[in-house]
Amino acid sequence: MKFTLLALLLTTTSLWAIPEKDFPEVWVNKAVPHFQNLNHSEFTNAEGMKIHHYSLIKKENKKTLVIVPGRTEASMKYAELIYDLRNDGFNIFIIDHQGQGESTRVLSDTNKGHVRNFKNYIIDMEQWMKEVVLPQSKDMPLYLLAHSMGGAVAAKYMAKHPKQFVKAAFSAPMMEMNTKPYPEKIARLYSAFLVQIGKGTNYAPDRGPYIPEEDRFETNEHTHSEVRHTALKYIFVTWPNLAVEGPTVMWVNRALRATEKIDVDGKKIQTPILLLQAGGDLIVNPGRQVDFCKKAKCTLIQCPGSHHEILQEKDDIRDKALAEIRKFLI
């Protein structure tokens, strides 16, 4: 029965997902304009920063979906996904983390991905949920979808609010960063040393600003879909104020510290979780995702051959992943 349902979902994919062959036209003429018509607002966080957020609200919807993006990501990156899910009965809320998207940057060099403390992301999410999402959701059931760094932020948030969401789906959650050529422990100690000697706001080694000419599909480590890669590049080129590239030394250190034992947070979470693991991920390692899933109420599904951006992948990967997410959440 489970196989039959999944097969049915996959055969009807064209009804709710944009195929690559039609992607450029539909993304430009429908998905992006749809995103630009979302409700757009902001709040001031505890640090005095403006945190931007977007929402899709229809009076007929009976449930809420909270989307938590990954590092560097502006909410506009999710224009395709929000367009795909627009008729699934969810009011949709998405946030621009501090230091990226439309939100206030931490440093004057806006290309640097920086945070002073990883818990600041969780504090922002708590304020957003309390002041924006919950009041507008009233008694609606809450669902969550998080990607990469957003998965780490959401896991930390859910450990403090273990029953708030009915279900949660994680796409390639950042629970164990790929720190090659250094082992994770060495990277944590080395980054701590650099912070200690005053280099915390420097770019991490071998990282730098966003340079469009160097953002080539042939050398990217995020997706096998050329049209989706082109669309994401288009966002940063067209709206350069949204561009964020290399993380700082401090961001790396704070992220490594936050995720060192994140699998233990799985024990505290009561929400059923679907964790999609990218089989060809070059950005995060799979080990702690597996450990987290063993401790949480979690189902782990691997996406063979996928790079880190599962929901920006080529059709045969993305469609299956999105079908699993829709089957789980809807």
Mean pLDDT value across residues 29-37? 97
- Whether residue 6 is predicted with pLDDT greater than 50 in this model: the reply is no
- Whether residue 227 is predicted with pLDDT greater than 70 in this model: the reply is yes
Mean pLDDT value across residues 212-236? 96
Matching residue, tokens 């599909």? 217
Convert the pLDDT of each residue in 100-127 to its tens digit. 999 999 999 999 999 999 999 999 999 9
Q: Provide the pLDDT for residue 231.
A: 95
Q: What is the CA radius of gyration of the chain?
A: 19
Q: How far is the C-alpha of 313 from the C-alpha of 223, rounded, in Å?
A: 5
Question: What stretches of 41-200 show up as alpha helix (H) in DSSP?
Answer: 79-84, 119-128, 134-137, 149-160, 184-196
Convert the pLDDT of each residue in 301-313 to its tens digit. 999 999 999 999 9
- Whether residue 11 is predicted with pLDDT greater than 70 in this model: the reply is no
Q: Provide the pLDDT for residue 15.
A: 60
In this structure, the dihedral spanned by the alpha carbons of residues 98, 102, 106 and 112, taken in order and rounded to 10 degrees, is 100
Nearest partner of 227 among 15, 80, 13, judged by Cα: 80
Portion of the chain with pLDDT greater than 90, in percent: 94
- Whether residue 65 is predicted with pLDDT greater than 60 in this model: the reply is yes
Mean pLDDT value across residues 207-235? 96
- Whether residue 8 is predicted with pLDDT greater than 50 in this model: the reply is no
pTM comes to 0.94
Domains of the chain (ranges; CATH) run: 2-329 (3.40.50.1820)
What is the DSSP code (8-state) at residue 265? G
Q: How confident is the model at residue 330 (pLDDT cuts 50, 70, 90)?
A: confident
Q: How confident is the model at residue 7 (pLDDT cuts 50, 70, 90)?
A: very low
Q: Could you tell me which residues are beta bridge partners of residue 146?
A: 68, 170
- Tell me the three state secondary structure of residue 106: coil
Matching residue, tokens 């993380």? 247
Task: Look over the chain and give the mean of its residue pLDDT values, rounded to a whole number.
Answer: 94
Nearest partner of 248 among 115, 97, 149, judged by Cα: 115
- Whether residue 13 is predicted with pLDDT greater than 90 in this model: the reply is no
The sheet that has 39-44: what strands, in order across it?
Answer: 39-44, 50-56, 90-95, 63-68, 142-147, 167-171, 273-278, 298-303
CB-facing half-sphere around the CA of 262: CA atoms within 13 A: 29
Convert the pLDDT of each residue in 168-203 to its tens digit. 999 999 999 999 999 999 999 999 999 999 999 999
Portion of the chain with pLDDT greater than 70, in percent: 95
Q: How confident is the model at residue 14 (pLDDT cuts 50, 70, 90)?
A: very low
Q: Could you tell me which residues are beta bridge partners of residue 55?
A: 39, 93
Q: How far is the C-alpha of 106 from the C-alpha of 86, rounded, in Å?
A: 32
* Sign of the CA dihedral running 122, 268, 85, 283: positive
* Sign of the CA dihedral running 113, 302, 154, 33: positive
Q: Provide the pLDDT for residue 219.
A: 96
Convert the pLDDT of each residue in 228-273 to its tens digit. 999 999 999 999 999 999 999 999 999 999 999 999 999 999 999 9
Q: Provide the pLDDT for residue 57.
A: 97
